[in-house]
Amino acid sequence: MSDIPSTIQAGGGAPTGFAWNDSAELHKCEDGGGLFHRFKTLRRGTVAELIEFVMDLPEEKREDYAIQKDGDRTFKIGEIRALYRRSDFPKTGD
């Protein structure tokens, strides 16, 4: 599922919200060789679940992880933090 609706049937082109329940994978980059050096999948879940997982890690370990949203894009720690801070983020701990 995409965050951008189709223009078929006169749908708009701008996102109306974020697809927090889309499938995603959590990856860890090892050996400091960049994001795709020894890129390993650690777990699967929704985008929201994986964002919350990363944000629950100790601060110094968070930048070692990236979230790959199925069929879409990769979120690094800066974007993960920004998404976590959004007012519509579905935090489970609240």
pLDDT at 59: 95
pTM for the structure as a whole: 0.73
pLDDT at 92: 79
Pairwise CA distance, residues 73 & 75, whole Å: 7
Determine, yes or no, domain membership for 42. Answer: yes
**pLDDT band at residue 12 under the 50/70/90 scheme:** low
Q: Are 74 and 66 a contacting pair, CB within 8 Å? A: yes
Determine, yes or no, domain membership for 90. Answer: no
Determine, yes or no, domain membership for 35. Answer: yes
Determine, yes or no, domain membership for 36. Answer: yes
16 against 22, higher pLDDT: 22
* pLDDT tens profile 33-55: 555 555 678 899 999 999 999 99
Determine, yes or no, domain membership for 15. Answer: no
Domain limits for position 72 = 21-85
- Say which DSSP state 5 is in: P
CB atoms within 10 A of CB 49: 18
